[in-house]
Structure 1
Amino acid sequence: MLQLIDHPDAIREIRLARAPVNALDPALIRAIRHAVEAAPADGVAGLVLSGAPGMFSAGLDVPSLLALDREALMPVWADFFGIFAAIARSPIPVVAAITGHSPAGGAVMAIHCDYRVMAAGDFRIGLNEVQVGLVVPECLQLALRRLVGPRHAEQLMVAGAMIPAQRAVEIGMVDELAATDDVVPQAIGWLRQRLALPRQAMLATRAIARADLHAAYAGPMPLADVQARWWSDETQATMKALVARLKSR
């Protein structure tokens, strides 16, 4: 479900390994959050988040979440937004090695990272929450605005657009493209360059540069609002229709 791979120079790779598409069910969500939070105390100097070739993460495992009642779902939202908070507030650099398609939750993890290397080719990335009946909260909107600017962010999120990898790099949603097999090595290479800099100066400057993202998770997370919207008639109908389409394929 989740593989922790330690590389030289105190770099740890957190590899999503839940076949077939790395869909985020409650167990995987919790495991990712804990892995990101635990890394600094383990002496890790930098993190890489990766997936399987062709698929970084398909986002939330909607069928598994639809099976939960209101009480059981709240801890899942806490862990889900806890992932983004842990990346946003991480005291060490985090790089997304986007090894393929990255809709919804996969894209959200990536945009909170320090840097993004995405697989070149016919792969897409985007915050397509609106397409499946979900609202994009302000903390997530901020993370995308920081990368692509207000206008691009508005257009992408309101439409729930999934854009090709080449377009993503053109507008700054990802930083560079690589052949699928080279995504993780290039992400590690970027981290090594950062970690070779004078450490205190690099980390302090990074903290100042990411202060707005850090502040977005300094207060309460929007769990009650997310929960209320999840149980709305529109969202439930859209989600159930989505599951029905998936089952019919």
Structure 2
Amino acid sequence: MYPTQDVIGMLKNIDHGDGITEIRLDRPPVNALNPALVTALDEAIGKATDDGARALVISGSEGLFSAGLDVPELLTLDEQGMREFWESLFGLLERIARSPVPIVTALTGHSPAGGTVIALFADYRVQAEGDFRLGLNEVQVGLVVPPAIHRALVRLIGPYPAERHLVAGEMIPAAEALELGMVDELAPPADVVERSVVWCRELLKLPRHSMSATRQLCRAELGALFDDRDALDIDAFVAGWFDEQTQATLKKLVERLKG
């Protein structure tokens, strides 16, 4: 492992050798996804691959990968600002889905909502074992999961399990997430990043052309989710965000978080 380099104060790049770069979310206290962090992560992934990285690991702090969307900050945006944020979030997800190199999410702890969404589009997911939870709880805060995210979840765990999870919107314990196929392996919290790096290192031992071409073939449907921009249904999500009942639910959530 080589020295850490700060990336505009919210990310850290760590070179693990063998062409493997770790991009660590570093936005205290909970790595919440706001416009600046989403843009920074998108740009960091692009720069790392442009600079020759052969595999990437996206990680968080021990005990917490990301708490999801920064609801307090997003509530300050007007409709145009929220639309721009959602477009940038889809840009990040597309970047991950179409990445020319493998990406592993090292889920270093809890990973609700937006944290889980990022993981859905990666090649592989290593989850910290223990009393950690992840999943898509949009229904419980008055939101509807966009079609592309729904289809990415279905790709991992199947239509009916995805339906049951999304409709209830309940967080899933780590061990259950492994059984469902939402994550690929569990590791002790302190070992999640190392297990992610090991997975990358083993994959990179394969013949480069055949591995890359097969990977591209298998992931083509994931990237294709972003081909039709209208199908992303951004307008519907923004309208739902500003629905009176949804706004009231989100504001109550913020008050509970403050408490």
How would you bin the TM-score normalised by the shorter chain? Answer: over 0.9
Q: Which residue of 1 aligns with 2:203?
A: 194
Deviation per CA, 1:198-223, whole angstroms, max 9, x where unpaired?
11110110111111111101221332
> Which of 228, 242, 254 matches 1:243?
254
Deviation per CA, 1:219-246, whole angstroms, max 9, x where unpaired?
2133222211111112111111111111
Deviation per CA, 1:120-147, whole angstroms, max 9, x where unpaired?
0000010111111111011101111111
Query: Residue 231 in 1 paired to residue 242 in 2?
Result: yes
Aligned length: 248
> Which of 131, 135, 140 matches 2:144?
135
Q: Which residue of 2 aligns with 1:59?
A: 68
Q: For structure 2, list consecutive stretches of 5 or more residues without a partner in the other structure.
A: 1-9
**How far apart are the structure 2 equivalents of 1:70 and 1:172?**
36
Query: Residue 164 in 1 paired to residue 173 in 2?
Result: yes
- Is this contact kept in 2: 1:99–1:183, CA < 8 A? yes
| Per-residue deviation, 1:40 | 1.8
- Is this contact kept in 2: 1:88–1:217, CA < 8 A? no
Query: Residue 26 in 1 paired to residue 35 in 2?
Result: yes
**How far apart are the structure 1 equivalents of 2:140 and 2:32?**
17
Query: Residue 210 in 1 paired to residue 219 in 2?
Result: yes
Per the normalisation by structure 2, the TM-score is 0.93
Q: Which residue of 2 aligns with 1:222?
A: 233
**How far apart are the structure 2 equivalents of 1:7 and 1:213?**
27
Q: Which residue of 2 aligns with 1:126?
A: 135
| Per-residue deviation, 1:75 | 1.9
Q: For structure 1, list consecutive stretches of 5 or more residues without a partner in the other structure.
A: none
| Per-residue deviation, 1:158 | 1.1
Task: Give structure 1 regions of 4+ aligned residues with deviation exceeding 3 angstroms.
Answer: none
**How far apart are the structure 1 equivalents of 2:224 and 2:82?**
26
- Is this contact kept in 2: 1:55–1:99, CA < 8 A? yes
1:141 maps to amino acid: H
1:224 maps to amino acid: D
- Give the RMSD, CA atoms, in angstroms: 1.0
Query: Residue 81 in 1 paired to residue 90 in 2?
Result: yes
| Per-residue deviation, 1:169 | 0.5
| Per-residue deviation, 1:71 | 2.2
| Per-residue deviation, 1:104 | 0.2
1:182 maps to amino acid: D
Q: Which residue of 2 aligns with 1:72?
A: 81
Per the normalisation by structure 1, the TM-score is 0.97
1:225 maps to amino acid: A
Q: Which residue of 2 aligns with 1:15?
A: 24
The equivalences for 1:72-111 within 5 A come to 72-111=81-120
**How far apart are the structure 1 equivalents of 2:123 and 2:252?**
36
**How far apart are the structure 1 equivalents of 2:161 and 2:64?**
24
| Per-residue deviation, 1:162 | 0.5
Identical residues among aligned pairs (%): 55
